[in-house]
Structure 1
Amino acid sequence: MPSAIPFSAAAGMLRSRISSTLRQRGGDGPSRWTTPGHQVRPNGYFLNRTPLPPGQSRKWEDWELPCYVTSFLTIVILGVGLNAKPDLTLETWAHQKALERLESQKQILAPNDSD
């Protein structure tokens, strides 16, 4: 049976590495997610943006116009396209076939009634 000394040594080494890592990550220093000059806590405004002074309008960002135009055109194309698609359901096909059979039966019976 192997001795427990190597296991306890490995456990001690692992414990020291984990505790040192936790101490480093929990510090108040800069991390890889924040950089100096950025606000850490939210300031209570939507998207952390302070409101503009009265009378000023917000300037659009460069991605907004293409995104809004594309979204509008997608809705229009889908609305027109889905309303104009042919009705290929099984119920519609069966209804048309039933109407055709009724018409053919009427045509067969119609010449016999005229005699």
Structure 2
Amino acid sequence: MTDHPTPPAPSSPDLWSSIDALWTWLDGNRPLGGKEGLLLRMLKLSEEVGEVAEAVIGATGQNPRKGVTHTWDDVQAELCDVVITALVALRTLTPDTRETFTRHLQRVTERSLGPSTDVISG
């Protein structure tokens, strides 16, 4: 684990374009639509969070029967899956995903750090 952020790769994909593309692909390939499809999209987030827990347990060797089965890199990857899944779920609820998320991040940041904090717009 590192305590400092890693700079993005020079050719990293645009976050919001990628979320839109993933949403479009998933929406075109879902077996259930309507309320059931919406609920399943939201439940996918719980599945991904469970995979984070599994990776943490595996990275720390907390299951004596299995021992160490994961690395902290696995935990990072699973956390990324949670973020992606949450943003795709948000995109399922609103096409204004970027604006909705940015406004909410600003409110949370101001609530936590004070109103003078400037959120980086993306």
* TM-score with structure 1 setting the length: 0.24
When Rg is computed on C-alpha atoms for both structures, the one with the higher figure is 1
Taking CA–CA contacts closer than 8 Å with sequence separation of 6 or more, which of the two structures ends up with the larger relative contact order? Answer: 2
* TM-score with structure 2 setting the length: 0.23
